[in-house]
Each structure stands twice: as C-alpha cells, then as structure tokens.
Amino acid sequence: MDAPTDAELDGVQEVKTYPDGTVVRVLCMRTNREAYPSGWAYKLHYGATEPNPPHTLNDGTIRRYDNSHEATKGHELHLAPDPDPEIIEFPGMGELWEQFWSEIPKAEFEVP
C-alpha cells in the first residue's frame, strides 16, 4: 500500500478507543504558521486510556510523533518508558504516517 498523499492527509483528525484500553489519536494539518517550518502540524499518538508507568508515560503515551515545538525543538518521538523525547528527522507527512502505523499493533485508519 502506498503512503497517503499530502492532500489526503491534510485535515485528518480522528480518535479511536479500543477494548484493550488503548487509544489512537491522529491529527495532520497543513499550516503556514512560523511555529511549523515543515508546513505541517501533527500528532500521531498511540497510548493507554489509563496511564500505567513504566509501560506508558505519565500521560498514557506509549508512542507519539509530534511537532508541537517544531520551531524550537524540532520533530519528536515520545516513546515509553523514556520521558525525554527523541529528536527525529521529518521524512514527510506520508512517510511518517506509514512509519507510525507500522510500529503500532492497530489497523491503519482510512483517509479520504
């Protein structure tokens, strides 16, 4: 399966909670704000509905890619149990989307 295009990912915002107590939250949005030099604001989150350190971070995160602080810190991977995020190279939104879904045990959300 090919990675979704930028046009397909722009505006994707979805949350799904699973019977096993996990949750996936995704947000992908193009932006021209200076805080996001890549042109994207995104969060790709896989976590638990109830935090369970050290299996999760204190906020329930198991794995999350985001660029909430892109202009100052860059693109980040938050991965339990380490509370300090890893700075990553941004491969593009489509490639990061595919990477995220290949790393978590849930089926990829369909995009329009």
Q: Provide the pairing of β-strand 40-48 with 22-30.
A: antiparallel
Query: What is the reported pLDDT for 112?
Result: 79
| pLDDT at 1 > cutoff 80 | no
User: What pLDDT, in 10s, does the model give residues 17-73?
Assistant: 999 999 999 999 999 999 999 999 999 999 999 999 999 999 999 999 999 999 999
Kindly tell me the burial class for residue 81, based on how many C-beta atoms sit within 10 Å of its own C-beta (0-12, 13-18, 19 or more).
exposed
Task: Give the SS3 label for residue 76.
Answer: strand
Residue 2 pLDDT grade (very low, low, confident, very high; cuts 50, 70, 90): confident
